[in-house]
Structure 1
Amino acid sequence: MRQLLLDIRPIAAPSLNNFVAGANRELLARLRSTAAGEPGPSIYLWGETGSGRTHLLRALAAEASARGLYLDADQVNNTAADTLIAALQATRAGVWLFDDIRLLEPLAQGALFRAINLAAARGITVVAAADDAPRDLPLREDLRTRIGQMLAFRIQPLQDEERLELLQAHAAARGMKVDVDVFDYLMRHGRRDIRSLLGILDLLDEHSLTRQRPVTLPLLREIMQTRLL
């Protein structure tokens, strides 16, 4: 059995600086203001899976003044409403972030509704995210109305040159040496969403390490063919 090599290459944590903005510069500027503690409205982000919603929320959680509080749908679903509200009342975080809110169960939707009202009373910014436009969210009506009152941004997909920039930055963060033809093949033959592209790039790095082979186009083809089987 092939022995796995320990990969000690540092991976860049999500930040607002390593998010490739593309057509989302206005959104990024707003999030920078929020991270700096400037007053402003609560925000709703939406876009297709792999558009960078979670990256932005985790980056904001790390960079916000007094650190933001990041909660995904599973965390909210698995926390009793009163317990969640008590935790929010106790936290010193100045930004509350809720990811994948379309996946919230009925009781959790009620908890989020209460959290948004509590945040408004305390002058705290809420940033919520999902893959649907506000009006299409499968949530209870009062919560959907609250979300619709937020400043909404649709995360615009990257153009090909921006996707290449992101892939190159991700490879550099992993310490990978990748020729342009490898990136070109990945973008032409891989899935279009960023999550899948980065996933293949990570897998390519892993196979390169464990097999002690350089990152080459033949290795990429081999990996992509295996994934299709």
Structure 2
Amino acid sequence: MSRTRSNPLPKQLSLSVHLNDEATFDNFFIREGQVNAQVVATLKYQLQPMGEQFVFLWGATGVGVTHLLQASCLKAQQEGACSQYLPLTELVGYDPEQLLEDLERLDLVCLDGLQAVQGLPEWERALFRFFNVMRDSGRRLVMAANCGPRELSVNLPDLQSRLNWGLVYQVQPLRDDDKCRALQMRARARGLELSDEVAQFIMHRVSRDLHELFECLHRLDDASLAEQRRLTIPFVKQTLGL
């Protein structure tokens, strides 16, 4: 569980939900003036007294929605606040009432993958009640799905209205040149030097999905450390089997 202060939830299920330490706002590549920059600014400010109480993020797989939710929880921890990240695609089989019980006592809750529970009556009823208690307690909530709130197949009208309570953002995908820069930024954070030539080589031979690109970088980092070698094209070809 991703809580920080001692704030026991006696009826909360024991879950194996862990945050990725690399999922920080500093590790999320943005261009100033773009929508993604507004998203990051909103999430960074959310726990402040005048911050948004409800934020809904949506976007296709690989654009960084999960990264942003986990970054929100990590930032909350750094600020001494209590937070919880819940990936609903992995938790859809749990009892939703039991899963959400007492979470309004936390400062921030992030619900990822709402599309996994759309149309399920027990989940829709539980989420509707949860929205109401979060509103009444003044806590912060971030929700995410692979489509906008109006496109979710929600059968409970009251829940559909709740999903549009706050700010709604579509997280924008990166252009290929920005993916190269994001890969280089992540490499620098690991203490690696990734030249433009090598970054372009990886981009043209590996899936352009950012998650897969970062997984490749993780493999290169481990191999570079083990063999004490720089990231050259021959080394990348050898390590990744290209």
Q: Please name the residue that 2:151 is paired with.
A: 136
The answer to which structure has the higher helix fraction is: 1
2:40 aligned to which of 28, 35, 39: 28
Q: Please name the residue that 1:184 is paired with.
A: 200
Kindly provide the amino acid, as one letter, of the partner of residue 52 in structure 2.
G
Give the match's secondary structure for 2:101.
Answer: helix
Q: Please name the residue that 1:216 is paired with.
A: 232
1:81 aligned to which of 96, 115, 118: 96
Could you list the runs of 5+ residues in structure 2 that have no partner in the other structure? 1-19
1:113 aligned to which of 100, 103, 128: 128
2:22 aligned to which of 8, 13, 17: 13
Seen in structure 2, the aligned counterparts of structure 1 residues 37 and 190 have a Cα distance that, compared at 3 Å, is farther
Which deviations, in whole Å up to 9, do the C-alpha atoms of 1:61-116 show, x marking residues without a partner?
Answer: 12235232211115642442332343314x3x222110111112723333222211
Give the match's secondary structure for 2:193.
Answer: coil
Seen in structure 2, the aligned counterparts of structure 1 residues 58 and 82 have a Cα distance that, compared at 3 Å, is same
More divergent stretch after superposition (112-121 vs 52-61):
112-121
Which deviations, in whole Å up to 9, do the C-alpha atoms of 1:6-33 show, x marking residues without a partner?
Answer: xxxxx96322233222221111111121
Give the match's secondary structure for 2:131.
Answer: helix
Instruction: Give the CA deviation at 1:210.
Output: 4.6
Matched, 1:151 2:170: no
Seen in structure 2, the aligned counterparts of structure 1 residues 109 and 204 have a Cα distance that, compared at 3 Å, is farther
Higher relative contact order (CA 8 A, sep 6+): 1
Q: Please name the residue that 2:75 is paired with.
A: 63
2:211 aligned to which of 175, 182, 195: 195
Seen in structure 2, the aligned counterparts of structure 1 residues 13 and 197 have a Cα distance that, compared at 3 Å, is closer
Query: How far, CA to CA, are the matches of 1:148 and 1:112 in structure 2?
Result: 13
Which deviations, in whole Å up to 9, do the C-alpha atoms of 1:161-204 show, x marking residues without a partner?
Answer: 43233212211222223332110111233222211211111122
Please give the TM-score of this superposition, normalised by the length of structure 2: 0.76
Seen in structure 2, the aligned counterparts of structure 1 residues 189 and 69 have a Cα distance that, compared at 3 Å, is same
Query: How far, CA to CA, are the matches of 1:164 and 1:207 in structure 2?
Result: 20
Kindly provide the amino acid, as one letter, of the partner of residue 172 in structure 1.
R
Which deviations, in whole Å up to 9, do the C-alpha atoms of 1:13-58 show, x marking residues without a partner?
Answer: 3222332222211111111210334342411101111111111111
Give the share of equivalent positions with the same residue, in percent: 29
Kindly provide the amino acid, as one letter, of the partner of residue 101 in structure 1.
L
Q: Please name the residue that 1:95 is paired with.
A: 108
Q: Please name the residue that 1:50 is paired with.
A: 62
Instruction: Give the CA deviation at 1:205.
Output: 2.2
Count, aligned residues: 214
More divergent stretch after superposition (204-213 vs 153-162):
204-213
Kindly provide the amino acid, as one letter, of the partner of residue 144 in structure 1.
Q
2:24, 2:67 within 8 Å by CA — same for their partners in 1? Answer: yes
1:124 aligned to which of 119, 127, 139: 139
2:57, 2:171 within 8 Å by CA — same for their partners in 1? Answer: yes
2:55, 2:142 within 8 Å by CA — same for their partners in 1? Answer: yes
1:14, 1:56 within 8 Å by CA — same for their partners in 2? Answer: yes
1:102, 1:139 within 8 Å by CA — same for their partners in 2? Answer: no
Seen in structure 2, the aligned counterparts of structure 1 residues 167 and 197 have a Cα distance that, compared at 3 Å, is same
Kindly provide the amino acid, as one letter, of the partner of residue 122 in structure 1.
S
1:76, 1:108 within 8 Å by CA — same for their partners in 2? Answer: no
Query: How far, CA to CA, are the matches of 2:85 and 2:196 in structure 1?
Result: 36
